[in-house]
Amino acid sequence: MNTQVYMSELSKDTLRENGLSDAGGLYLYEEVHDASESGIRVLASVPDLGAAQRLLDVLGIEAA
């Protein structure tokens, strides 16, 4: 399965819709399109771009 993941800041509204509070920094997330859920699923948060790049590297993920 080839799931695209994204790394970016997210708005307070988007975070609230996903049951999260704004911790600042960047968020690793994927799009969700299935019968029970749609939108995004936040997988991780990181404090800055350097940490984001390192996390993606460690996981072997290429962000879209």
> What is d(CA 45, CA 28) in angstroms, rounded to the nearest whole number?
6
Residue 10's pLDDT is 93
User: 12-16: long-range contacts (C-beta < 8 A, 24 or more apart)?
Assistant: 14/40, 15/42
pLDDT tens digits for range 4-54: 888 899 999 988 888 888 778 899 898 888 767 668 889 889 999 999 889
3-state helix, strand, coil in the chain (%, to 5): 25, 35, 40
Q: Is 53 helix (H, G, I), strand (E, B) or coil?
A: helix
